[in-house]
Amino acid sequence: MSDIGEEPSVRVLISEAEITSRLQELAREISRDYEDKDLVLVCVLKGSMVFFADLARKITVPLRFDYICVDSYGDNTESGEEIELRTDLSESVAGRHVLVVEDIVDTGRTMGYLFDLLEGRGAASLAVVALLDKPARRKREVEIAYRGFEVPDEFVVGYGLDYRQQYRNLPYIGALESSSPLG
């Protein structure tokens, strides 16, 4: 990351223990709400993969997995106007209850794009579970059925979230800090 000057530091916002505890609560709510339903968890790659895996193991009802990859950031720290579908689902969601697993709802554009796409494919119901919610940057309203944590308007990394494909392996959520501007 030499193109931004010095190496950024990471300030812990949400600890590993806080994440683990909140995941257990979310899994209980989801298991209760989707009992006796044909549930498909859709992981939004790449940022949601850690959250998705940990959450899925805690959900107690039968479910299916699928994956979708969209890009709105590229190598930037700001979400762009254009959403690109990079990898589509492998199975139909028609008639199924879809729970989209997202790392962070920021501007709401990506979630809006995914909801429009999946509603058009005939999902029986559609909801989102987001590890992080950053309402200060919202451009499009999104109903978050299951919210992990609200975060301030800072660039966050860790627990699957990245900056230029780095920091995903941190076991906590942190704010990326640098004396040089990020981007």
Q: Report helix, strand or coil for 11.
A: strand
Residue pair 35/62 in contact (Cβ under 8 Å)? The answer is: no
SS (H, E, C) 81-146: CCCEEEECCCCCCECCEEEEEEEEECCCHHHHHHHHHHHCCCECEEEEEEEEECHHHCCCCCCCCE
Is 106 an active-site residue? yes
**44 contacts 54 by C-beta, under 8 angstroms:** no
Task: Report d(CA 42, CA 67) in Å as an integer.
Answer: 5
Active-site residue identified among 33, 36, 88, 106: 106
- Please identify every residue annotated as catalytic: 106
